[in-house]
Structure 1
Amino acid sequence: DGTQVQLMSTKFQTYLAAENGGGAAIVANRASASSWETFPLWRVNDTFFNFRVFNKQFVGISNQGGNKIVQSNQTTVTADYQGTTSWADNDPSVFRVKIVRTLQGEYQLTNGLGPTKAPQVLRSHWSSYITEQDFIFMSQNGINAVRIPVGWWIAQDPNPPKPFVGGSLAALDNAFTWAQ
């Protein structure tokens, strides 16, 4: 969805990394984070995301039976911890999540919110962000032109390709009506 995260072990103060950018071990031995330590979120469905790695593969740690992911030493990350956790900073199963980048643009917003929530959020935005009152104000203050950025998918409204949602053409039509 465009969001990118970094995971730091609170016990060892090192970042989780996809060794070689992917295709190798998952380690936690970096004192600072850059590309290999940054994981873009990849939406699977409304509630499930995968971590994508630098070379467009996905993070995978085999976890049979609900065991916890831990950093057991300065480098090794495994998914075999069966003990209880304390959520303390010295707990090897606790990782601090740093959000590096968030949703940007309509594609990432609609993909990130999913097919159920995105239409609700965008309809609310379209009906309240720019209103007829804004056009009246502009006209009364000598502004006689506006620039409205339009995405290519508006030409396929009301059924644009996924993940975009229909309704943006009606919002543009409102702007044309108010501008007359």
Structure 2
Amino acid sequence: MFGLSRRMFSTTARVANQIAQSPAHVTPDVLPPVLVRLIQRSIAGREDAKSIDLPNPFLPSKPNGSWCPAWIPRRRQKQLLQLYPAHLLPPSPINPVEPVPVQWPSGTVINWVGEYKPKEYKSIYANRRQLFKGHKRERERAERKAEVDGRLETMDARIAEWKAEVAENKANSRSTLPF
């Protein structure tokens, strides 16, 4: 970690000058050494090509039919983001920016292939034609709520009617005899 921070401070001025002069491409001298080594290994013997598409080292890839994990793990990606400007690094879940192509000294342009897609969380009802059965009280909840709301609206009239009925029953239940 100490070596990385020392490297970072030595390239900060060069990075600022590089950005001011040419924002379209990034040169390898401002990239993290991890990415430079990765690019060197990948383009060995192909320097004569005008442009090369390399899989994004920050994302999982499917080179031969089965998924491979990211070449640079997330913990290391986070460290690189702390030490280098975000636009110099390929896009990742931690750093969702537009990738900038890398201009190699031989004139080859390296493009990062692969894009980060945020994970979609589907509900349990997403692909079902019919909802789950559920409890009876849950199925009848809307109907019951409508019934309760309707009865609450007429509550004052029903209370007045009930009180009148109770008063009438009380009056009828009294005997007219004094004893």
Shorter-chain TM-score range: under 0.3
User: TM-score normalized by structure 2?
Assistant: 0.24
Which structure is larger by alpha-carbon Rg, 1 or 2?
2
TM normalised by structure 1 equals 0.24
Structure with the higher fraction of residues in strand conformation: 1
Greater fraction of residues in helix = 2
